[in-house]
Structure 1
């Protein structure tokens, strides 16, 4: 056992990075994400969430989804994105062997927990180039303001 510790160099950080990569690779096969804020692998649609001083921005990457098939709603502090992505068109009469099928098809639903300063009465959703951008404005009362001293 004493000899097994000799293979570690004096700088152990590369060894820990290697171990982290190995652990990530091991759990990746089970659909578990190793990131603290990441969703499960294969979750559709992938989303980006950020904020400015005025709004919370959510961008959902919904390429291949008809904008009319998308539904955006807010209920009790939750932003709910749902819809359906059709299956890829296949040749009806041709025999086909599929080697990989990674494109998600079917109904989906993503739920985003909004912060307390989100104003559910002021929401805007726009679809362009396969991206659904939802802007939720922040409440005026939560924004910093300058108070004049008299």
Structure 2
């Protein structure tokens, strides 16, 4: 890209960032992203969600973040992980390309109705937040003895 000055490069980077944010808000297909399996490409932080008969496991990949700066909450079967990530540039250094996400983020994951909002645990280790949400006892299968 000969002849492109830094201002044009920053402008294109800003348009690309805005496109990614709009994809995150509206989903890649133009409809709002919702549910346990949906997220726009490039959403931060990336997550994995799994389920067992006893609980739901959510893994949030947020390396280099202070666990105390993360806000994890659950309301109406919506698990929300929010925070802010900063990528500082050393003084006197001019960036030509910035691919690492920085700024505020919020991920909302819809869990099934049997998720128990009173039994949620979150742990941060090696850059991964592991959130366990137990299923309600009343929704778990139970063995009934036949007499």
Q: Tell me the TM-score normalised to structure 2 length.
A: 0.73
Give 3-state SS (helix, strand or coil) of 2:49's partner.
strand
The one-character-per-residue Cα deviations of 1:64-115 (angstroms, maximum 9, x if unpaired) are: 211111011111111110011112x322124x341x3211101100101111
- State whether structure 2 residue 90 is matched by structure 1 residue 91: yes
How many residues align? The count is 118
Unaligned runs of 5+ in 2: 1-19, 30-36
Deviation of 1:145 (Å):
1.1
* Structure 2 CA distance for aligned equivalents of residues 83 and 139 of structure 1: 28
Please say if 1:123 is aligned against 2:120.
yes
Note the residue ranges of structure 1 that are not aligned, 5 or more in a row: 1-27
* Structure 1 residue runs of 4 or more that deviate by more than 2 Å after TM superposition: 30-34
> Which SS does the other structure have where 2:68 is aligned?
helix
Residue 80 of structure 2: aligned partner: 80
Write the deviation string for residues 11-46 of structure 1: whole angstroms up to 9, x where unpaired: xxxxxxxxxxxxxxxxx9x95647xx4411221110
Alignment partner of 1:140 out of 121, 137, 140: 137
Aligned to 2:61: 61
Contact 2:124 2:130 in 1 (8 A): yes
In structure 2, relative to structure 1, the CA distance for the partners of 1:120 and 1:66 (3 Å cut) is same
Q: Hey, what's the Cα distance between the residues in 2 that align with 1:60 and 1:85?
A: 14
| Distance in 1 (alpha carbons) for counterparts of 2:51 and 2:78 | 16
Distance, in Å, in 1 between the alignment partners of 2:60 and 2:107 is 9
Taking only aligned residues, the RMSD between alpha carbons, in angstroms, comes to: 2.1
2:89–2:95 Cα contact (<8 Å) kept:
no
